[in-house]
Amino acid sequence: MMAVLRIFSYLPNPRIWKATIAARLVGVEVEVRGAKSAELAQWLWDFEARPLSEAERVERGDLARVGRVGFRGTSILKTEAFLDAHPFGTVPAAFGPDGDVGIFESNSIMRAVARLGGPQSTLYGRDPYEASRIDSFLDAGLVFARDGQHYLLALRGQAVSAETHARARDAFQIYLAGIERALAPAREAIVGDTLTLADICFATELALFANERIQQDVLAREGLAQAWDGAVEAAHPRAFAHFSRLRRHPAFAPDMAAYLDKLEQRSAPAPA
């Protein structure tokens, strides 16, 4: 089966799982290229993305751009074709099969996969109203995702402010409260009666936020508590039960299961 979409990203990246999970559910092929975040600065960022030798990096130095956000201050080689397709110059970066059309932002890449599944797919709703309700949940998730990203990057940098922590904690709880209500009284999906993009986005954003668990030392040093703790789980039982179901679902598990298991193992208390 020919890939209908190529995605270039740092790996692992729970946000590109939005596309790979959707692809399994609608039966299309998605190609993923990339490497660990620390290695991606050594790649040529392009439709034909690939690692470069040191000699190639020197030879193509005219393509160097200074990275931002997760690659802040790093010199990265990005082709003009890449920047034409991806004007913000970020990853994950998706391309159509010929490389001319670029699709950026993980929710938009996920939507593209759902559309490529054809009219038989209900991942993006059965009618314009249901599709718009799904969009509402995706937009609400962006608020949580942005504050969560700043928080996780700060933790990874070994320093986080009380303000950044509070914004992420509040965004997390607000998002969970909406999901909790949407699943009441005992629904199996966030929108409608089958899985949609809203469920995929929910599961993958929580999987990413679970990286907080392995930064307990940083939080303790700053005198801060985990945003994701037993109390927040107890306050949102439907949301976390749904997350537990999704991580074991056949379309989700290939991406999520081992990743979450590893995070849980790394955050577990050492044996006495």
The one-letter code for the residue type at 124 is Y
Question: Is 95 in the same domain as 133?
Answer: no
Question: Is 143 in the same domain as 58?
Answer: no
Residue 272: is its pLDDT beyond 60? no
Count of domains for the chain: 2
Question: Is 135 in the same domain as 236?
Answer: yes
Question: Is 247 in the same domain as 146?
Answer: yes
Residue 68: is its pLDDT beyond 90? no
Question: Is 193 in the same domain as 79?
Answer: no
Q: Quick check: is 223 in a domain?
A: yes
- Nearest CA to 113 out of 249, 36, 204 is that of 204
For the segment 15-33, the average pLDDT, to the nearest whole number, is 97
Question: Is 73 in the same domain as 178?
Answer: no
For the segment 60-67, the average pLDDT, to the nearest whole number, is 78
- Confidence bin at 118 (pLDDT 50/70/90): confident
- Confidence bin at 64 (pLDDT 50/70/90): confident
Phi and psi at residue 157, to the nearest 5°: -80, 5
For the segment 97-114, the average pLDDT, to the nearest whole number, is 96
For the segment 175-198, the average pLDDT, to the nearest whole number, is 97
For the segment 169-193, the average pLDDT, to the nearest whole number, is 97
Average the pLDDT over each of 142-156, 174-188, 258-272 and give the range with the smallest value. Answer: 258-272
Question: Is 111 in the same domain as 232?
Answer: no
Chosen domain end from 116, 146, 172: 116
Average the pLDDT over each of 48-57, 67-76, 263-272 and give the range with the smallest value. Answer: 67-76
pLDDT of residue 256: 98
Residue 72: is its pLDDT beyond 90? no
- Confidence bin at 73 (pLDDT 50/70/90): low
Question: Is 138 in the same domain as 101?
Answer: no
- Summarised one tens digit per residue, pLDDT across range 217-236 is 999 999 999 999 999 999 99
Q: Quick check: is 38 in a domain?
A: yes
Q: What is the pTM of this model?
A: 0.93
pLDDT of residue 107: 98
The boundaries of the domain holding residue 101 are 5-116
pLDDT of residue 57: 85
pLDDT of residue 71: 62
Mean pLDDT, the chain, rounded, equals 94
